[in-house]
Structure 1
């Protein structure tokens, strides 16, 4: 297996053990805040613009003006993907394959398992009228591979995790063959171009493998990371531009169509293009301007709530709305639903993610190393990166 590598400027050099506070792995507090903004946008979209009947009538009837703005919250998902492209490349560049895979397993699964079980109990036992699902679907969803099985989602928001998982596989393959600068640039340019061809030619298997509908977002985030390491690298800037164009004019239109279908708000061709461009611009501002040096702990704290908030908010918030809408004004019901969602997100982060994610990561990495090279492979004296 190739040695772990990390980016320095536009080249790759062997990595040494790097603590969490290393300058090579900065903490972008504003980027953390952007993750929360993306989740909040999706929450607002679902509660005030999405076509749910939890309100007893279309949410747009309760929020006739607000929904025209919150409908654009559907673009919080592309913003997630651009951020993910940046962050995952930054993370992978300081790890080898076992460490990278373990970091992703530890990051994703503890909160996800709790969310699936909690939402499953809600929809199977407490509020079956919210969505018709069975225990078999809940069990299938625990694997996070339900999209591959065609088993259906417990919660519709889980579809994004299937895109993320396939992206992680591509990054792991890149790590396995050796993450050189030349290969990274090839990925940033060729991957979204091939993905576009698969979409255009309706090549389903290729589109699935290449994460075709999200490839320009992920690759665009990767290109922004390359720019952050070398502002003078025109080829990196070119990768940002290419992926912005592909995202805005090709896959971004699918998001616009979904927005129109579920909210009846029509962004128009230029509205969708502008929304995608804003996603790229926000990430660029967070990582390429003086904002990258902001270190406010409060922003990082908000970012920590993003994942559990995204996983849990939809049906639990709908359930709250359905039970309080007759007793209080719509705006109060909305505030209560958001408050419950945030409280649940905090609880999952505090009592699930913080204690269990590091344990799962360490266990998975140890097992992968034992299966690959033996139990001593991860000893610091052998040049393996420290867990981060």
Structure 2
């Protein structure tokens, strides 16, 4: 979820060159900003108009039979986010060092997340305890973003994706420490998803499956391969590896989402549509980054992309709360629109704080990490402070 789509200052690398030397920055991928925002809205509408909750007084799918069979496929938005994350995080990490990558990721993830956790905890503890029974202790553990590692419930169920993202970031930090090269990247994106799949199929120890991000490794790896081709051009081997990762992603996603959607809604999704849309996650990122659409000049999409992360974090319980307050007193479509509007307004407010706090936090973290290593900030680190 928490990805930044502005390429860091760097030039396309050639095989065998020193990848630690950055140069000029390619243009911003505005089309990906728009894609991320549409995906976030799909999650919002899925949660409000299809996923089970008591706030409408009836099953949401019964309240919205017209759109329910379509919006259930918004459940695949996190998978799309993971492909985008593989692309964007490799973009951020390639040619950088560990302090820069760690500082940029932590400063990007935590400010908005802390605001969302505090806001949702206040709602559930004191304003609307009927929404979900949580404790202050659970809320405090959630502030670490490591609650799943401590077997503590998420204050908001949507936080599960952040634990997945954190594990991917940890792998990327190790990769940066080792050194990213084209050859290593190809081996990594070939071996990691296969090993993760074997761990899943053979039911190996949970700690191994958690470290390998078993179910979602193909999405991240596929996104990384798409960035490699965005950076260096089309090549047969990367495309073959993308195809392999798409196949693994489809294999994992169809049975999982068939069960999830059938359990959490009144609808039964089509396995064919699930498979096509899962593959479509990769296709969309490829089309928007490796065709003329990569040069789409619509700068107005940038703030929409910036709203994606806070919208995802804040929408669920605050939207359900407003629906609970209004559903018996207004037209269902008006209530749905009001909930979406509230989520967007709150996301905008979080973004206003984030865009002021995150750059400062990133600079402070990077200085601190470099001081600990006895190194001065690199030119790439200084340049990177201009982008979010």
Provide TM-score, normalisation by structure 1: 0.93
Residue 138 of structure 1 deviates from its aligned partner by: 0.5
How many residues are treated as equivalent by the alignment?
A: 376
Match of 2:235 among 233, 236, 257: 233
Pick from 232, 245, 248 the counterpart of residue 243 of structure 1: 245
Gaps of 5+ in 2: 1-8
Q: Name 1:8's counterpart in structure 2.
A: 13
After alignment, is 289-298 or 148-157 more displaced? Answer: 289-298
**TM-score (norm. length: structure 2):** 0.93
* CA distance in 2: counterparts of 1:12 and 1:117, whole angstroms: 46
After superposition, the Cα gap between the structure-2 partners of 1:17 and 1:233, relative to the gap in structure 1 and judged at 3 Å, is closer
1:386 to 368, 383, 388: 383
Return the alpha-carbon distance in structure 1 between the equivalents of residues 238 and 93 of structure 2: 18
Q: Which residue of 2 aligns with 1:97?
A: 98
Q: Does 1:60 align with 2:61?
A: yes
Instruction: Note the aligned Cα RMSD (angstroms).
Output: 1.7
Separation in 2, partners of 1:137, 1:386: 39
User: What's 2:4 paired with?
Assistant: none
Q: Distance in 2 between matches of 1:88 and 1:308?
A: 18
- Give distance in 1, aligned partners of 2:62 and 2:320: 16
8 Å contact 2:12–2:232 — kept in the other structure? no
Task: Write the mapping of 1:212-361 to structure 2, written as runs, cut at 5 A.
Answer: 212-350=214-352, 352-361=353-362
Q: Flag the 1:31–1:5 CA change in 2: closer, same or farther, 3 A.
A: closer
Give the match's secondary structure for 2:18.
strand
Contact kept in structure 2, 1:49 and 1:67, CA below 8 Å:
yes
In structure 2, the residue matched to 1:75 is: 76
Q: Distance in 2 between matches of 1:143 and 1:6?
A: 35
Q: State whether residues 86 and 220 of structure 2, in contact with CA within 8 Å, keep that contact through their aligned partners in structure 1.
A: yes
Instruction: Quote the offset at 1:269 in angstroms.
Output: 2.6
Structure 1: tracts of 5 or more residues without a match: none
Structure 1 residues 183 and 252, CA gap change in structure 2 (3 angstroms)? farther
Q: Which runs of 4+ in 1 moved over 4 A?
A: 4-7, 9-12
| Distance change (3 Å), C-alpha of 1:10 and 1:81 | farther
Change (3 A) 1:271 1:10: farther
Deviations 1:316-344 (Å, cap 9, x if unpaired)?
Answer: 00000000111111000000000000000
